[in-house]
Amino acid sequence: MRLSDETLLDIMARFQAEMQKGLGKDTNPTASVKMLPTFVRAIPDGSENGEFLSLDLGGSKFRVLKVQVSEEGKRNVQMESQFYPTPNEIIRGNGTELFEYVADCLADFMRTKELMQKKLPLGLTFSFPCKQTKLEEGVLLSWTKKFKARGVQGTDVVSSLTNAMRKHKQDLDVDILALVNDTVGTMMTCAYDDPYCEVGVIIGTGTNACYMEDMSNIELVEGDEGRMCINTEWGAFGDDGALEDIRTEFDRELDLGSLNPGKQLFEKMISGLYLGELVRLILLKMAKAGLLFGGEKSSALHIKGKIETRHVAAMEKYKEGLANTREILTDLGLEASEADCVAVQHVCTVVSFRSANLCAAALAAILTRLRENKKLVRLRTTVGMDGTLYKIHPQYPKRLHKVVRKLVPNCDVRFLLSESGSTKGAAMVTAVASRVQAQRKQIDKVLALFRLTREQLVGVRDKMRVELEYGLKRDTHPLATVKMLPTYVCGMPDGTEKGKFLALDLGGTNFRVLLVKIRSGRRSVRMYNKIFAIPLEIMQGTGEEVNAGQGVPRSEVPACHPIQCRPGMTAALSLQLFDHIVQCIADFLDYMGLKGAQLPLGFTFSFPCRQASIDKGTLIEWTKGFKATDCEGEDVVDMLREAIKRRNEFDLDIVAVVNDTVGTMMTCGYEDRNCEVGLIAGTGSNMCYMEEMRNIELVEGDEGKMCINTEWGGFGDNGCLDDIRTQYDKEVDEGSLNPGKQRYEKMTSGMYLGEIVRQILIDLTKQGLLFRGQISERLRTRGIFETKFLSQIESDRLALLQVRRILQQLGLDSTCEDSIVVKEVCGAVSRRAAELYGAGLAAIVEKRREDQGFEHLKITVGVDGTLYKLHPHFSRILQETVKELAPRCDVTFMLSEDGSGKGAALITAVAKRLQQARREK
């Protein structure tokens, strides 16, 4: 019975394999360690409260309890309990009678505690292996230990007990909300005091353990999010013969005489119900061999169960142990010499030591699994402990702890004794169950606001269509919220464009200066670019003079200062902004060795501009994160020209000003002539498309087509989307630089999605549904959820722990459960955004189809923007929605790999050619 360290490590490895087998869908049916999902997903967080009933059946004592979990955050639990006997005729009789007996005891308890009129939720601790498909149901797989009531195996014990309670209808009004194993109850009891507790171990009448497993590893339960407690039922380890090499003749003999031969073989080497019996069998053999008691036999030694675990514990006491041994042996009618007593004591030690060793090996396997699941080098964790053997045996805990620490040196384990049994924990589970139920309802209510029905999406599509028409018509144009701005871009590149161009790209996430070389014929374009930051002083417009120093390359700017995309960065003076842009151009030319070069320039300016020609653009109003003063109502080309003049260092020929949607459409149009739509899903949200001249009432002429910059971000500014706007959208709008404006953009684009998420999280936290109800400073900080974080959080490949880590990086101290909710919130917000984009785009392509009188339309959409490019689901949902809402259009999405700078250069090339032609004429 002595097990070497190697053997223990070997057993540990075998148990690890058993766990894996039990968790696998295909391997579970033949696994002896059943690894039962418990549907307990969260450990207590201190917010549990209420009054609960609890039953504790299956350990050495049967108890009924009332548990009062305090409110107001004070972790305070009060319990009143009553023990009831469990006579053999009840626990080994008829199942119905067993449950009726339990119901009788409950009714008696309620009567004596005067609880009859109360409707209380009940948590049932039932310490036998049960297969659960939900928390409030459990089919008994087999009886273990001392129980063997007929007709219960294979049935749901919750409904059996509920049925039995019907007899007491007048007195009993209880709702069984949870069925928990005693290990689970123990873990939860301990976790209430120590949030690190994620394992529960019982070493009592029987032995068993549970622990928190990653959902992604539990093949028998759907879903990959979060964790769930697994009741290992490790007592059955070895039932398939896996431990035959360490089982002894005594183990075999004991098993044959048990209520469940061949079953629970690991338990039978460990737990309190069997330990004394093992000692008896060994002593009997030694006595028979004449090694003890002077060859004299006692008839008491022949009687099964004569030596109990409490005897073993007493005999192993430090000081009184020897005296206790003599007394116990004398009571058995044995005349023991001093040497006999020492020998008997030794047998006890060997048997109980083996028990502790075996438990340690299995526990070490669980701890290793936890550590590996968390991908940690060192695990800090707490194990909740209970059971009479562990509690009354003088040396057991110390030995167990020592061996565990030896077997898993990379785990810092705290062993916490459950002082109040499993019931406190069962009440926690019940409380959590009722809290989770209630919270889920609240969270669902919030998320439902973001779920758009097909009808609603069709409504959005149709309203967009109406707005598009308004914007195009001369009469309605002035009041239109979707501005439908003519761009004076009338054709697609035809491949004859050529030359060297400068391009500026301002208004997206990055500000860039580019050199674009277009070679005709081969449709090949070479680009060189540099990203610059616009310093905070300029973005925030402190009014100070810009020093004449260097433009700041993006790489030298702290990453936390994105150029302009945060709300709240206001009022840069126009002078500063344009002088700074010119400074960056100068730096770039310098960097490219082109100082003094005179190049045609195309200016991608991603804001709404009213154009009278390709090289004139009056800024209507700033959107997104810009708010430089003295620019609105001014021509941006003039402002840039003047800044160049002020610098007086080089001359540039500003040939075209283009919106980023237009630049994107052109970039893609260079590859695919079918590309007649440009879409941006980035910091902002916008779309442009080729419209028939005859439909554009603002521009003379009916021939051909012209690109219209829709500025659809303003859709809804007249209130037409109010039916789907939520309180969160309104809050985001109110906190933005342009309240009341760009409502559609604020529901769809990268700059705002994170803000919507943040508003929802604040609200859920206020409702106590997240972050333990604590609104942190971080959560109050605008702009913390940039598009890239949103995209990371929603990635399918990410385990929940990684989501949690991202949130922690953002300064949000979230639990796993919080992380699930945050991910759901992100998902709901980004899905709605993609669907709204889809509805908007469907309106356009349908319009194009109808205008051309086609049955079917084949069209390509050039797309750009960080939201489209980084988000794991956005593009798919967008495409699905378009398909659904514009079924007669075959829409191809083409990602613009080169940004809009290339398109702007192409437009410049065409414009330049026309300019020259005009001059020559």
Residues marked active site are found at 512, 606, 660
Please identify which residue in 750, 783, 838, 840 interacts with ligand BG6, judged by CB under 6 A: 750
Residues of span 234-293 touching ligand GLC by CB under 6 A = 235, 267
Residues of span 862-881 touching ligand BG6 by CB under 6 A = 864-866
What is the per-residue burial (b if ≥16 Cβ within 10 Å, else e) of 478-495? eebbbbbbbbbbbebbee
Stretch that binds ligand BG6, among 64-72, 765-773, 860-868, 887-895 (CB under 6 A): 860-868
384 binds ligand BG6 (CB under 6 A): no
202 binds ligand BG6 (CB under 6 A): yes
Cα–Cα distance for residue pair 178/195, rounded to 1 Å: 21
Shorter beta-carbon distance to ligand BG6: residue 439 or 748: 748
Q: Is 411 helix (H, G, I), strand (E, B) or coil?
A: strand
787 binds ligand GLC (CB under 6 A): no
Residues of span 587-616 touching ligand BG6 by CB under 6 A = 604, 606
Give 30-92 as a DSSP string. Answer: G-SS--EE--------S---EEEEEEEESSSSEEEEEEEE-STT---EEEEEEEE---HHHHT
Q: Determine the residue type at 222.
A: E
First to last CA, the chain: 108
Strands 857-864 and 207-214: unpaired
Cα–Cα distance for residue pair 106/115, rounded to 1 Å: 10
What track of x and - describes contact with ligand BG6 for positions 662 through 691 (by CB under 6 A)? -x----------------x-xx--------
Please identify which residue in 183, 576, 814, 860 interacts with ligand GLC, judged by CB under 6 A: 183
The tokens for 917 are 């032609």
Cα–Cα distance for residue pair 192/424, rounded to 1 Å: 9
Residues of span 283-342 touching ligand GLC by CB under 6 A = none
Phi, psi of 656 (to 5 degrees): -150, 140
Binding partner selected for residue 276 from ligand BG6, ligand GLC, none, CB under the kind-specific 5 to 8 Å limit? none
Separate counts of helices (H) and strands (E) for the chain: 28, 27
Please identify which residue in 32, 127, 324, 487 interacts with ligand BG6, judged by CB under 6 A: 127
Shorter beta-carbon distance to ligand GLC: residue 683 or 860: 683
Tell me if 498 sits within 8 A of 519, measured CB to CB. yes
Cα–Cα distance for residue pair 659/768, rounded to 1 Å: 44
Stretch that binds ligand BG6, among 400-408, 797-805, 897-905, 907-915 (CB under 6 A): 897-905
81 binds ligand BG6 (CB under 6 A): no
- Report in angstroms how near the CB of residue 147 gets to ligand BG6 at its nearest: 12
What track of x and - describes contact with ligand GLC for positions 826 through 865 (by CB under 6 A)? ----------------------------------------
Stretch that binds ligand GLC, among 244-252, 373-381, 678-686, 878-886 (CB under 6 A): 678-686
Q: Which residue has the tokens 């390509």?
A: 860
Please identify which residue in 509, 564, 791, 879 interacts with ligand BG6, judged by CB under 6 A: 509
Shorter beta-carbon distance to ligand GLC: residue 359 or 889: 359
868 binds ligand GLC (CB under 6 A): no
Binding partner selected for residue 608 from ligand BG6, ligand GLC, none, CB under the kind-specific 5 to 8 Å limit? ligand GLC
Kind plus residue range of the DSSP H or E element containing 179:
strand 174-180
Stretch that binds ligand BG6, among 12-20, 58-66, 79-87, 456-464 (CB under 6 A): 58-66
Shorter beta-carbon distance to ligand BG6: residue 287 or 313: 313
Please identify which residue in 660, 729, 786, 794 interacts with ligand GLC, judged by CB under 6 A: 660
- Report in angstroms how near the CB of residue 901 gets to ligand BG6 at its nearest: 6
Shorter beta-carbon distance to ligand GLC: residue 268 or 306: 268
Please identify which residue in 100, 579, 711, 729 interacts with ligand GLC, judged by CB under 6 A: 711
What track of x and - describes contact with ligand BG6 for positions 332 through 351 (by CB under 6 A)? --------------------
Please identify which residue in 425, 562, 600, 682 interacts with ligand GLC, judged by CB under 6 A: 682
Cα–Cα distance for residue pair 209/236, rounded to 1 Å: 11
Name 354's Cβ contacts closer than 8 Å, sequence gap at least 6. 1, 2, 3, 269
Cα–Cα distance for residue pair 213/396, rounded to 1 Å: 27
602 binds ligand GLC (CB under 6 A): no
Shorter beta-carbon distance to ligand GLC: residue 340 or 635: 635
121 binds ligand GLC (CB under 6 A): no
Maximum Cα interatomic distance, the chain, rounded to a whole number of Å? 132
With 0-12 / 13-18 / 19 or more C-beta atoms within 10 angstroms meaning exposed / middle / buried, residue 87 is exposed
Please identify which residue in 144, 357, 388, 742 interacts with ligand BG6, judged by CB under 6 A: 388
SS3 track for 853-919: CCCCEEEEEEEECHHHHHCCCHHHHHHHHHHHHCCCEEEEEEECCCCCHHHHHHHHHHHHHHHHHHH
Kind plus residue range of the DSSP H or E element containing 619:
strand 616-619
Strands 197-203 and 379-386: parallel
Query: Residue 707's beta-bridge partner residues?
Result: 690
Q: Is 198 helix (H, G, I), strand (E, B) or coil?
A: strand
What track of x and - describes contact with ligand GLC for positions 43 through 82 (by CB under 6 A)? ---------------xx-----------------------
Binding partner selected for residue 125 from ligand GLC, ligand BG6, none, CB under the kind-specific 5 to 8 Å limit? ligand BG6
Please identify which residue in 44, 121, 421, 714 interacts with ligand BG6, judged by CB under 6 A: 421
Please identify which residue in 18, 182, 214, 817 interacts with ligand GLC, judged by CB under 6 A: 182
Shorter beta-carbon distance to ligand BG6: residue 757 or 769: 757
C-alpha distances in Å from residue 717, one per residue of 124, 714, 735:
56, 6, 16
861 binds ligand BG6 (CB under 6 A): no
What track of x and - describes contact with ligand BG6 for positions 628 through 667 (by CB under 6 A)? --------------------------------x--x----
The tokens for 24 are 């696998």
505 binds ligand BG6 (CB under 6 A): yes
Please identify which residue in 387, 716, 840, 862 interacts with ligand BG6, judged by CB under 6 A: 387
C-alpha closest to that of 539 among 560, 562, 556, 555: 562
Cα–Cα distance for residue pair 692/848, rounded to 1 Å: 9
Binding partner selected for residue 267 from ligand GLC, ligand BG6, none, CB under the kind-specific 5 to 8 Å limit? ligand GLC
**CA 921: distance to chain centroid?**
66
Cα–Cα distance for residue pair 426/69, rounded to 1 Å: 11
Please identify which residue in 352, 659, 736, 881 interacts with ligand GLC, judged by CB under 6 A: 659
- Report in angstroms how near the CB of residue 14 gets to ligand GLC at its nearest: 18
Please identify which residue in 384, 507, 663, 750 interacts with ligand GLC, judged by CB under 6 A: 507
Cα–Cα distance for residue pair 325/603, rounded to 1 Å: 97
DSSP state of 24: S
900 binds ligand BG6 (CB under 6 A): yes
Tell me if 554 sits within 8 A of 533, measured CB to CB. yes
The tokens for 165 are 């309670």
C-alpha distances in Å from residue 484, one per residue of 289, 474, 478, 560, 684:
104, 11, 10, 35, 16
Q: Give the residues lining the site for ligand BG6 (CB under 6 A).
A: 56, 58-61, 125, 127, 182, 185, 202, 204-205, 272, 386-388, 421-423, 505, 507-509, 604, 606, 660, 663, 680, 682-683, 750, 864-866, 899-901
Q: Give the residues lining the site for ligand GLC (CB under 6 A).
A: 58-59, 127-129, 144-145, 181-183, 202, 204-208, 233, 235, 267, 507-508, 606-608, 623-624, 659-661, 680, 682-686, 711, 713, 745
